[in-house]
């Protein structure tokens, strides 16, 4: 079943728009984590403090390295998602 608003060109429920938005958001998060891993870890710790949880890495050097690696992986994954959404839908 199609979205009843599909006949309008600015429908935000279009799957292409949704997947492109998720891809761009994930790409931005991946770039942030890959190039600023310490700030990304600090952001996570700040968010967890809002829930009254204290989070501290056991091995900080390893944590920074893993955060940067996973940031690059997130960039590749979301670039693929964006490309797939652009070509498929």
Q: How many domains does the chain have?
A: 1
Q: Count Cβ neighbours within 10 Å for each residue of 50-77 and write b for 16 or more, e otherwise.
A: eeeeeeeeeeeeeeeeebbebbeebbee
Kindly tell me if the per-residue pLDDT of 51 is higher than 90.
yes
In a domain, 62, yes or no: yes
- Cβ atoms of 56 and 15 closer than 8 Å: no
Task: Say if residue 12's pLDDT is above 80.
Answer: no
Residue 24 above 60 pLDDT? Answer: yes
Q: Does a structural domain hold residue 6?
A: no
Three-class SS of residue 52?
Answer: coil
Amino acid 23: pLDDT: 84
Identify the burial level of 11 via C-beta atoms within 10 angstroms of its C-beta, where 0-12 means exposed, 13-18 middle and 19 or more buried. Answer: middle
- Asked if the structure places residue 3 within a domain, the reply is no
- Confidence check: pLDDT of 2 > 70: no
Question: Contact 81/25 with Cβ under 8 angstroms?
Answer: no
Mean pLDDT for the stretch of residues 12-34: 85
Rounded to an integer, the average pLDDT of 62-69 is 96
Mean pLDDT value of segment 51-59: 91
Segments forming the whole domain that contains residue 62: 15-88
């Amino acid at each position: 079943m199609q979205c009843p608003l599909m006949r309008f060109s600015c429908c935000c429920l279009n799957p292409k728009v949704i997947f492109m938005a998720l891809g761009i958001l994930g790409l931005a998060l991946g770039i942030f984590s890959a190039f600023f891993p310490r700030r990304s870890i600090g952001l996570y710790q700040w968010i967890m403090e809002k829930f009254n949880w204290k989070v501290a890495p056991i091995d900080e050097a390893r944590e920074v390295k893993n955060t940067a690696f996973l940031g690059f992986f997130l960039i590749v994954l979301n670039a693929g998602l964006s490309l797939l959404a652009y070509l498929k839908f």
